[in-house]
Structure 1
Amino acid sequence: MQNFETMTKSYMNGEWVEGNSGRTYQNVNPYDDSLIAEIKIASKAQLQDVFNIAGNAQKSWARSSVEERRQVIEKAMEYMNEHKEEIVRLISRETGGTILKANVEHHLAMEVMAEALNYVHEVGTVREVPGGPEGKINKIYRLPLGVISSISPFNFPVNLSLRTIVPAIALGNAVVHKPDIQVGLAGGVVLAKAFEYAGVPAGVFNMVLTDIEEIGDELLTNPITQLISFTGSTAVGRHIGSIAGGNLKRVALELGGNSPFVVLSDADVDQAVNAAIFGKYIHQGQICMIINRIIVHKDKYDEFVEKFAARTKELPCGDPQDPKTVIGPLINKQQLRKAAGYVKLAKKEGARTVLEGKIEGNVMSPYIFADVKNDSEIAQTELFGPIALIIKAETDDEAIKIAGETDHGLSSAIFTSDLEKGERYALQLDAGMTHINDQTVNDAPNIPFGGTKASGLGRFGNPWVVDEFTTTKWVSVQTKAREFAF
């Protein structure tokens, strides 16, 4: 058994190193505020040193063989599987997620790692293309990008960290990874232990337990990093994008969402309710893809509202360590205050309260508001909490129009008994992903995961992530003497 909660050091250059900023962070359980660990924050100088180390290590790793990279990933998978029980427990304790959510996250993380074995051979490939003067051979090489800055969020720290780290390493890059300090053990220490066990060369994977107060924009501006991979809020994503653009660095940004769940006039209401319950309330609504607006055709509206509210009332709330719990705590008191503020805003804007929730400790039980206006502030806000908004549409066309009226474009869902109509409408929605007769929270390692508009740039998933995390180089060989014009 591995006790991750006693491991509070950063992993730099293949060694476990204590942060030397002089500051500490109290890592607490969101459910009961009990102390999990005290972490010494790594300094900006330590982070700068790590970039230099990663830059040197990457040069050697870029020349690694397919078999070397494959072995590292397979061994890391072995570690993650051997310690699944401890990892699941830690995810639940540190994120406030339920045991179900923690198991789902571990499963998704293992899928990401397994899929990397299907493209580990892509880097170092070369293909020839015709063109140019007689005797010219054109070779196109796919090469590692270099050093990648990885910045992951609090909600799915294992999966959303590995989504960057694993393809980066599989494709010959080095990584400097900063997990959200609130979940630094699950999102950082666990992964460092896995890659240490896997024998990754020193400096290829580095994990730094620090915060923005200490390091500022160093992960973005350091001249060694070639790509900044960030999952988090749109506001922070805009900041990263502006800095990266000014420094001509690549970005992979998976940002916020305002995902619509559309119930059309011919939908199966019972199944739509089943899907909406899961897609709205998993992990207390703290997921970028979560259902943010439920848009229902007027013919199904009253039935849906009644059945959705009845099902919501039955959801067990409380201790996430209890296997029966569906709704656990929000990640911290700031998020809890924001969610409470959204409840007040919905009421102020005239939404009808269908289900009145309550706050006990750090747990907010679900709220449901109906008759919401899509142009209201509450409908245009990413809620990140167990607050459901239901909007009535007069026609199916209007429902799809309402669904698209948002600055975001991550995920979306459409319920209908006419699959051809559903697919036709899906292509009208300006979103990176649309799911017909399903909810909005879907992920897989072999699909183009990403959004449009304010929901981000770039795509994860094989083979799209290969293009994101590598570069191409043209090498031409002139085999016959060329005649020049002058």
Structure 2
Amino acid sequence: MLNKYSKQSINGEWRNGRSQLIYDNVNPFDKEVIASVKLSNKEDVNEAYEAARSAQKTWAKVPSAEKKEILFRAAEIFGERKQEITEIISKETGSSVLKATGEVISIIEMIKDAANYSERMEMPVSLPSSMPGKESLVFHKPAGVVGIISPFNYPLFLSMRAVAPAIAVGDAVVLKPDLQTQISGGYIIGEVFEQAGLPKGVLNVLTFAIEEVGDFFVEHPIPQVISFTGSTAVGRHIGALCGQHLKKAALELGGNSPLVVLEDADIDQAINAAIFGKFIHQGQICMITNRILVHRKHYKEFVDRYVQRASELPYGNPVDPKVIIGPIINDNQLKKILNIVEEGKKEGNNLVLEGKQDGNILTPFVFADVDNKSKLAQTEIFGPVAIIIPFDSEEEALEMANDTEYGLSGAVFTQDFERGIEFARQIESGMAHVNDQTVNSSPNAPFGGEKASGLGRYGGEWGFEEFTSAKWVTVQREARKYPF
């Protein structure tokens, strides 16, 4: 049991929420109750936002060196507790040890990179001016209070990519992780930053039931930025609310990412990438490889070898380091994936590898000869179901790659690097990779999507802009002559 993580963190105090609802957080592999949490209600949400607003005014004035010191200390603590946190992620999310370990390592680098934002807040940008004697400067100031809503699939990573930059630039945060992963997506983050010396109220962590709190978290008048990672349907709703209330929205939503294998590709590398890019974390990743487009020259070989590789992936309890395929997050999601498989069969798609259900685990399914316009190919599956589609020309491949409402990530395999770069640039997505799979992230690079995959960018200078507000200041250093 992890009942030490059953409290809400509001204004530096760990306490029960005021809701009458109690949520049992369960291990998706064996259904063991990890922690029972008394949830928050609207009163708690309001208190958290009020605490954040009060703390932010002081936090914004803290020198950058002190902010950096706290952030680097937080990164250090995550490193010291890596093994413990990896085990919690595996138990709470069903992540393999490989995936959970990678998640912890990646957020350590993310925090260190974000720490540099604090110095940028004290460094105005000088712009050229055509006006004689005029100095033109751009300062950045904190956006204020940021409300963050994070999902279940990469909870620590997807919470931290908003928490770390927001804190670094002088914002205060109210973080609402997914109920199913509230420990690794929220309470551990609150605990580590508290240990690192972050002042109370700068980071508040709470969880609640949507049926009780509704849109109040987004519509509350205090937060100036809402960061949301999740489904496109919910993202559209949150984006509409932010527009109505004139808040900035950073939205990272769904995907239907293509991996394209051109006729000159290294097939060994393409198969390795397509296996990893489809089945890491059971396919429960927004930028997972959802469609594999293969030139007909290699098609039969690719399908045969891919099916063989997929059928050999070890599955079971994710705390076993040898396991790659762990459980689906919950029963409803598992049923949804199985329904997609059955509908795919009814559409006439060729199921060349039929997976099986073992508790909440689904072993890999592979469909071949899929029509890119089919419902199966146009659905974000979010599970271990691979779709392989043949094509005859590069033009056809590009057209199919872009024939989706989504535009998060993409990949192309070719031995001609310049050709690959040009193809990648033409994929309608926020990110694309040559000779690699679609699941990539770097703390100093822009992460985000086009079309129905979202708005805004996380990471690097682009993430800096999401959590700050730019202010133009001019100084007229010599007398200006006016026309009247």
| Structure-1-length-normalised TM-score | 0.97
The structure 2 residue matched to 1:161, chosen from 159, 162, 169, is 159
Counterparts of 1:29-178 in structure 2 under 5 Å? 29-131=27-129, 136-178=134-176
Q: What is the total number of aligned residue pairs between the two structures?
A: 484
Separation (CA, whole Å) in 2 of partners of 1:68 and 1:16 = 24
Whether contact under 8 Å (1:137, 1:478) holds in the other structure is yes
Separation (CA, whole Å) in 2 of partners of 1:118 and 1:9 = 31
Paired residue for 2:435?
437
Shift of 1:213: 1.9
Separation (CA, whole Å) in 2 of partners of 1:223 and 1:175 = 14
Whichever residue aligns with residue 400 of structure 2, its letter is I
Separation (CA, whole Å) in 1 of partners of 2:132 and 2:269 = 64
List gaps (5 residues or longer) in structure 2. none
Whichever residue aligns with residue 169 of structure 2, its letter is L
Distance 1:137 1:273, change over 3 A: closer
Paired residue for 1:230?
228
Separation (CA, whole Å) in 2 of partners of 1:485 and 1:446 = 47
Distance 1:309 1:128, change over 3 A: closer
Whether contact under 8 Å (1:4, 1:189) holds in the other structure is no
Paired residue for 1:275?
273
Indicate the SS of the match to 1:471.
strand
Shift of 1:117: 2.8
Whichever residue aligns with residue 471 of structure 2, its letter is K
Paired residue for 1:370?
368
Per-residue CA deviations over 1:90-120 (Å, capped at 9, x if unaligned) read 0000001111110011111111112113332
Indicate the SS of the match to 1:195.
helix
The structure 1 residue matched to 2:454, chosen from 456, 459, 465, is 456
Indicate the SS of the match to 2:299.
helix
Separation (CA, whole Å) in 2 of partners of 1:175 and 1:257 = 27
Separation (CA, whole Å) in 2 of partners of 1:228 and 1:278 = 32
Whichever residue aligns with residue 441 of structure 1, its letter is V
Paired residue for 1:476?
474
Whichever residue aligns with residue 466 of structure 1, its letter is F
Indicate the SS of the match to 2:251.
strand
Per-residue CA deviations over 1:415-460 (Å, capped at 9, x if unaligned) read 1122221111111111111111111111110111111111111111
Separation (CA, whole Å) in 2 of partners of 1:79 and 1:97 = 21
Indicate the SS of the match to 1:27.
strand
Whichever residue aligns with residue 217 of structure 1, its letter is D
Separation (CA, whole Å) in 2 of partners of 1:135 and 1:400 = 52
Separation (CA, whole Å) in 2 of partners of 1:130 and 1:93 = 55
List gaps (5 residues or longer) in structure 1. none
The structure 1 residue matched to 2:191, chosen from 170, 183, 193, is 193
Paired residue for 1:217?
215
Shift of 1:477: 3.9
The structure 2 residue matched to 1:465, chosen from 463, 466, 474, is 463
Indicate the SS of the match to 2:308.
helix
Distance 1:297 1:133, change over 3 A: closer
Separation (CA, whole Å) in 2 of partners of 1:132 and 1:387 = 59
Paired residue for 1:16?
14
Per-residue CA deviations over 1:349-388 (Å, capped at 9, x if unaligned) read 1101100111111001111111110111111000000001
> How many percent identity over aligned positions?
50
| Structure-2-length-normalised TM-score | 0.97
Separation (CA, whole Å) in 2 of partners of 1:127 and 1:326 = 47
Distance 1:116 1:4, change over 3 A: farther
